């Protein structure tokens, strides 16, 4: 055998020997091991629910059992590290609690992991803030706490009831358009504890239409499309046969009502006064109207519910007719035509009164006279003073009321004016 062949045979035999040794080593099982680092044998938690992971170093199957699974749970994860998951729930009892996790594997001593959960006073709520409107004057707040607590409420909020699960029902008073805010404070009853939670409460109310009457139903001329029905008031001493009549309105699809002399509607507007006031100082009235002739007075509204003095805003008997009253001044000469429909907005805010007719802002006044304050129980619409006989009948196609003073831009938007 030549030299090259001998080398080849030698290498082949060596390779076979090495392969056999490696196969022998692979078939021999490695030494079993099972353990947990000493630093992980005690697991401490605070009062809130939490999860921690422990590494069980082993090449064998193992089991893990909690001594109190009502609050301390254990789960084995299929991994080499962080393969033991320990989860605790909220500690709602005012004391420290402990449990043991027993980790076992066949052929080894059990390993015991001590779990300690401390207690801390907690107060939580189901809402981080509360946003309110006048639409619903009640709201709920669910409070979870492991201590006795008490409430500090804003002056405009009161507690209506509470339930065993911590749900509290509150009620609050309505507001005029605007915003107010405060906090509901939930704090520990124990004076030695500084645990407290503040829940911000914001109450917002926008200007909106709160009353509207279209007079489209001849069988029910007081019917409201927004708000409450009107009340018909007749001056039977002056005209015992006075009748409110259904007449043709501003279009073929709209009806109107004819207001007889010395009679009127009474509207329960339901508006809420500003804080510290017992009257309504800001509002907007809308009238779609038609007068039969110029040179006469026509009254739009009256704030004195006795109706024994002048109304607040008129079509004046001047020729050409104007709109207003002494306190606001009269304006709009030439804008009003007999037997034509007109759309009038009267926006009232002390020191800022605006008149708007047929898409045109035609008058402003800085008056803040008390005569324009609305009574909380209602307002007289479309009727003159009973002590005078110079009131005149006219036709009304629509009346609407807003609970705030509309701006010029607001009215332009409503009327589609750019």
Question: Tens of pLDDT along the chain (418 residues)?
Answer: 466 556 555 556 556 555 545 554 444 558 999 999 999 999 999 888 999 999 999 999 999 999 999 999 999 999 989 999 999 998 877 788 999 999 999 999 999 999 999 888 889 999 999 999 999 999 999 999 988 999 999 999 999 999 999 999 999 999 999 999 999 999 999 888 889 999 999 999 999 999 999 999 999 999 999 999 999 998 877 777 888 999 999 998 999 999 988 889 999 999 999 989 999 999 999 999 999 999 999 999 999 998 888 889 999 999 999 999 999 999 999 999 999 999 999 999 999 999 999 989 999 999 999 999 999 999 999 987 665 666 788 999 999 999 999 999 999 999 998 7
pLDDT at residue 182 in the model: 98
CA distance 413 to 237: 44
- Are 382 and 396 in contact by the 8 Å Cβ rule? The answer is yes
The residue among 260, 206, 270, 231 whose CA lies nearest residue 401 is: 270
Query: In 77-156, which ranges are E strands?
Result: 84-88, 97-104, 111-117, 123-125, 130-132, 138-145, 149-152
Residues 215 and 354 placed together within one structural domain of the fold: yes
Do β-strands 342-348 and 329-331 pair in parallel, antiparallel, or remain unpaired? unpaired
In a domain, 16, yes or no: no
In a domain, 19, yes or no: no
Supply φ then ψ for residue 13, to 5 degrees.
-65, -40
The residue among 304, 324, 298, 287 whose CA lies nearest residue 401 is: 287
In a domain, 15, yes or no: no
CA 209 to chain centre: 19
Identify the burial level of 336 via C-beta atoms within 10 angstroms of its C-beta, where 0-12 means exposed, 13-18 middle and 19 or more buried: buried
Which pTM does this prediction carry?
Answer: 0.72
Which of 61, 95, 117 delimits the end of a domain? Answer: 117
pLDDT at residue 24 in the model: 46
Q: Which helix (H) or strand (E) holds 354?
A: strand 353-357
Residue partners of 253: CB distance under 8 A and separation at least 6: none
Residues 198 and 236 placed together within one structural domain of the fold: no
Residues 263 and 363 placed together within one structural domain of the fold: yes
Residues 233 and 86 placed together within one structural domain of the fold: no
Do β-strands 360-365 and 353-357 pair in parallel, antiparallel, or remain unpaired? antiparallel
pLDDT at residue 240 in the model: 78
Q: How far apart are the first and last CA of the chain?
A: 113
Residues 272 and 176 placed together within one structural domain of the fold: no
Q: What is the CATH number of the domain that holds 71?
A: 2.60.40.10
**Which two structure tokens, joined as six digits, stand for 43?**
């697991």
pLDDT at residue 12 in the model: 60
CA distance 73 to 51: 9
Which of 159, 185, 205 delimits the end of a domain? Answer: 205
Which of 71, 100, 117 delimits the end of a domain? Answer: 117
pLDDT at residue 27 in the model: 47
In a domain, 5, yes or no: no
Q: How many CB atoms lie within 10 A of CB 105?
A: 19
Q: How many CB atoms lie within 10 A of CB 195?
A: 16
In a domain, 25, yes or no: no
In a domain, 18, yes or no: no
pLDDT at residue 311 in the model: 87
Name the one residue in this structure whose structure tokens are 């490695």: 30
**Which two structure tokens, joined as six digits, stand for 190?**
């124990």
Residues 258 and 376 placed together within one structural domain of the fold: yes
Name the one residue in this structure whose structure tokens are 């009161």: 158
Helix (H, G, I), strand (E, B) or coil at 326: coil
* Structural domain count, the chain: 3
pLDDT at residue 239 in the model: 76
Residues 164 and 228 placed together within one structural domain of the fold: no
CA distance 342 to 288: 6
Full residue range of the structural domain in which residue 201 is found: 123-205
Q: Which helix (H) or strand (E) holds 17?
A: helix 3-27
In a domain, 321, yes or no: yes
CA distance 197 to 150: 11
In a domain, 185, yes or no: yes
């Amino acid at each position: 055998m030549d030299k090259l062949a001998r080398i080849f045979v030698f290498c082949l035999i060596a390779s076979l020997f090495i392969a056999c040794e490696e196969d022998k080593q692979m078939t021999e099982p490695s030494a079993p091991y099972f353990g947990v680092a000493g630093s992980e044998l005690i697991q401490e938690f605070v009062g809130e629910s939490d999860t921690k992971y422990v590494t069980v170093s082993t090449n064998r199957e193992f089991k893990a059992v909690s001594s109190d699974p009502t609050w301390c749970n254990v789960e084995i994860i299929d991994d080499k590290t962080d393969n033991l998951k320990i989860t605790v729930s909220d500690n709602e009892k005012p004391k420290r609690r402990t449990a043991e996790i027993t980790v076992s594997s066949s052929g080894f001593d059990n390993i015991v992991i001590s779990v300690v959960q401390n207690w801390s006073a907690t107060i939580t709520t189901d809402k981080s803030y509360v946003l309110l409107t006048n639409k619903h004057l009640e709201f709920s707040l669910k409070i979870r706490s492991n201590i006795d607590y008490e409430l500090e409420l804003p002056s405009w909020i009161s507690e209506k009831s509470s339930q065993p699960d911590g749900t509290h029902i509150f009620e609050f008073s309505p507001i005029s358009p605007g915003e107010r805010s405060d906090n509901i404070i939930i704090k520990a009853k124990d004076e030695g504890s500084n645990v407290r939670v503040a829940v911000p409460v914001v109450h917002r109310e926008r200007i909106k239409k709160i009353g509207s009457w279209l007079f489209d139903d001849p069988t029910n001329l007081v019917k409201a499309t927004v708000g409450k029905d009107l009340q018909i008031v007749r001056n039977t001493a002056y005209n015992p046969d006075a009748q409110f009549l259904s007449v043709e309105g501003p279009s073929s699809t709209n009806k109107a009502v004819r207001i007889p002399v010395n009679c009127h509607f009474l509207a329960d507007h339901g508006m809420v006064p500003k804080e510290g006031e017992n009257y309504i100082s800001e509002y907007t009235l809308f009238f779609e109207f038609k007068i039969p002739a110029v040179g006469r007075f026509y009254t739009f509204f009256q704030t004195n519910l006795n109706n024994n003095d002048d109304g607040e805003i008129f079509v004046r008997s001047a020729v050409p007719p104007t709109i207003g009253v002494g306190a606001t001044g009269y304006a709009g000469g030439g804008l009003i035509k007999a037997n034509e429909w007109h759309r009038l907005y009267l926006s009232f805010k002390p020191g800022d009164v605006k008149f708007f007719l047929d898409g045109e802002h035609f008058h402003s006044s800085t008056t803040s006279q008390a005569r324009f304050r609305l009574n909380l129980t209602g307002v007289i619409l479309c009727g003159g003073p009973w002590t005078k006989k110079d009131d005149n009948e006219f036709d009304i196609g629509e009346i609407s009321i807003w609970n705030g003073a509309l701006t010029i831009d607001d009215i332009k938007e409503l009327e589609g004016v750019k």
